């Protein structure tokens, strides 16, 4: 979790004090926005990897060996869940912990950006400048568990559209064909 700690340290250096100049306020906003982009990229990478692993796990043919392996995974998960309920200890799921850590950094960046927007407006009024209206994080309805920004949704949407465009299937058996494949991996039909 080294990158998480590194970004927490970056966040700690980007603190908001009440006595900022307008230029310092805007520089701090730019630093927080850059951090937010980096955090959202990490969240997207983590979610993409998780989805890819899930797709790969589901794409295998159901051989007896795969079914027994899957059965063992389900039993192990059930045992972990029972142990968690009985002892109160949570099982270690690194991806879930990492996603929560990145999401917490993202929420803190949003809180600080919101405070900076208010501070910028006050400082600009005092200096006699106009402040460009930006969409506020607070203005959009969000559930408390949903900390992702529209940037993340746009990136995920673009990724899924690209996957749909590049997805092909075998005209003979209907199996998904990866980009660049010339033959179907299941039936051998020439597709490219």
Report the domain count for the chain: 1
Asked if the structure places residue 31 within a domain, the reply is yes
Q: Residue 182 falls within a domain, yes or no?
A: no
Residue 103 CB burial class (10 angstroms; 0-12, 13-18, ≥19): middle
Residue 36 and residue 149 in contact, taking contact as beta carbons nearer than 8 Å: yes
The answer to whether 170 and 189 are in contact (CB under 8 A) is yes
Domain contains 180: no
Pick the closest to residue 98 from 60, 59, 46, 134 (CA basis).
Answer: 46
Residue 18 within a domain: yes
Q: Assess if residue 29 is contained within a domain.
A: yes
| Domain span holding position 12 | 2-60+92-148
Q: pLDDT of the chain along its 192 residues, tens only?
A: 588 888 888 888 888 776 668 888 888 889 899 999 998 888 888 888 888 877 777 776 667 777 788 788 888 888 877 777 777 666 556 777 888 888 888 889 898 888 888 888 888 888 777 666 555 544 444 444 344 445 555 666 666 666 665 667 888 887 888 777 888 878 888 887
Measured in degrees and rounded to the nearest 5, phi and psi for residue 49 equal -60, -40
Residue 168 located in a structural domain: no
Residue 167 lies in a domain: no
Q: Is residue 47 part of a domain?
A: yes
């Amino acid at each position: 979790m080294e990158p998480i700690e590194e970004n927490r340290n970056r966040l700690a250096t980007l603190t908001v004090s009440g006595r900022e100049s307008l230029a310092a306020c805007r520089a701090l906003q730019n630093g927080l926005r850059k951090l937010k982009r980096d955090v959202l990229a990490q969240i997207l990478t983590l979610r993409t990897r998780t989805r890819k692993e899930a797709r790969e796990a589901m794409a295998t043919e159901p051989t007896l060996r795969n079914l027994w392996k899957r059965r063992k995974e389900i039993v192990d998960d059930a045992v972990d869940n029972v142990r968690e309920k009985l002892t109160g200890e949570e099982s270690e799921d690194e991806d879930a912990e990492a996603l929560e850590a990145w999401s917490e950094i993202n929420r803190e960046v949003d809180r600080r950006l919101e405070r900076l927007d208010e501070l910028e407006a006050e400082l600009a009024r005092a200096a006699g400048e106009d402040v460009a209206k930006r969409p506020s994080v607070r203005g959009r309805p969000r559930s408390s568990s949903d900390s992702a920004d529209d940037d993340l949704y746009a990136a995920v949407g673009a990724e899924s559209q690209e996957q749909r465009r590049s997805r092909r299937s075998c005209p003979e058996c209907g199996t998904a064909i990866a980009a660049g494949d010339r033959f179907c991996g299941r039936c051998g039909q020439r597709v490219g």
